[in-house]
Amino acid sequence: MGDGGPARAGAASMDESYHGFAEKPFSPTPDPTFLFQSESHARAVERLAYAIDRREGFAVVTGERGTGKTTLCRALLERANRGSLAALLPDGLRSAEAVLTAVLQEFGVVSRGIRTAAGPRPSRQELVNAFDDFLGSLAPLDARAVLVVDEAQGLPALLLEQVRILSTLEANTDQRLQIVLVGQSSLLDLLGSPELRQLDQRVSTRFELEPLTADEVGAYVSHRLAIARASRSVVFTSAALQVVHRYSGGVPRVVNLLCDRALDRASSARTGRVNDTLVVTAAGELGLEPVEPRSWIDRVLGRRAT
């Protein structure tokens, strides 16, 4: 997972200046440079790739905030692009026309004079026809299109239904369109609504991303430190990593926040050795409490009970 990003602009933080990092190791923004595949993340990519290869139509991946869903999207697009045309649907869309236009733009379709500049706007049917033409053009190439919808839980049911309708266009093109819905766990509740019954019935693959285990937290921290390339030695002790896992629950985004603050405290102490005391201090400053991670089955049962 890679819920962390570059710090190439602006003043260097205390941990960067003291430890001499070439990159900020624990930024909270996504950066594929820091991609780390946990067991859960790797299995998700493998399952999705298998579904795409088999042309199974719809797949759904869920996970709580900060578990690396955006990084999953990037990894999936990178893998899909090796033999497919892949696109990521941006969030924030609020109309069927906006969804259709964004899909056409992301796939690089230029058809029927569709432009983003001022001028007569194409009708919804014209947009649908343009996408249908695009899918039809893939058949002679024996190619497929993969559409990844990130933060899908934020789309209104009406727009998710529009995404489903797109998939019905490929009835005569041998399942050329594969759609992956990625979102928080509330996406499952949304798909269970009566309005989206037809979409839910077409989902062939479902996968829930799990937080990092205690061992994976250690590997994750070491991985990011190695990529960031400090000029001074930086080490998180075994006890410190246990505390990081305890206070983050294994959620990569929280791991980043906690480790970044702990590095600042280590920099203030003029040391490259981050111990459990520094991590506990950082957790207190961030207002974090110890987390008792629930098992996958506990979450499923809890969701069904609500």
- Paired tokens of 60: 């759904």
Residue with tokens 């990003």: 5
Decide which of 3.30.420, 1.10.8, 1.20.1440, 1.10.10 is the CATH code for 16-29+212-286: 1.10.8
Q: Would you list the domain boundaries of the chain?
A: 16-29+212-286, 39-208
Helix 252-268 × helix 276-286 angle, to 10° = 110
Q: What is the pLDDT of residues 95-133, one digit of tens each?
A: 999 999 999 999 988 543 455 444 567 888 889 999 998
- Which segment of 48-52, 177-181, 259-263, 270-274 scores lowest on mean pLDDT? 48-52
Q: Which of 175, 181, 173, 174 is nearest to 199 (CA)?
A: 181
Tell me if residue 135 falls in helix, strand or coil: helix
Say if 16-29+212-286 and 39-208 have the same CATH topology. Answer: no
Q: Is the pTM of this model over 0.75?
A: yes
At residue 92 the predicted structure's pLDDT band, cuts being 50, 70 and 90, is confident
CB 15 within 8 Å of CB 263: yes
**What pLDDT, on a 0 to 100 scale, did the predictor assign at position 211?**
94
Task: List the single range of 62-66, 166-170, 201-205, 294-298 with lowest mean pLDDT.
Answer: 294-298
The pLDDT of residue 91 is 81
The rounded distance, in Å, linking the Cα atoms of 125 and 107 is 18
CATH fold of the domain at 39-208: Rossmann fold (3.40.50)
pLDDT (average), residues 145-167: 92
Q: How much is the pLDDT for 217?
A: 97
Q: CA-to-CA distance for 19 and 232, rounded, in angstroms?
A: 5
E strand segments, 52-134:
58-62, 85-89
Task: For residues 15 and 5, give the distance between their C-alpha atoms in angstroms, rounded to a whole number.
Answer: 15
Model confidence pLDDT, tens digit, residues 232-251? 899 999 999 999 999 999 99
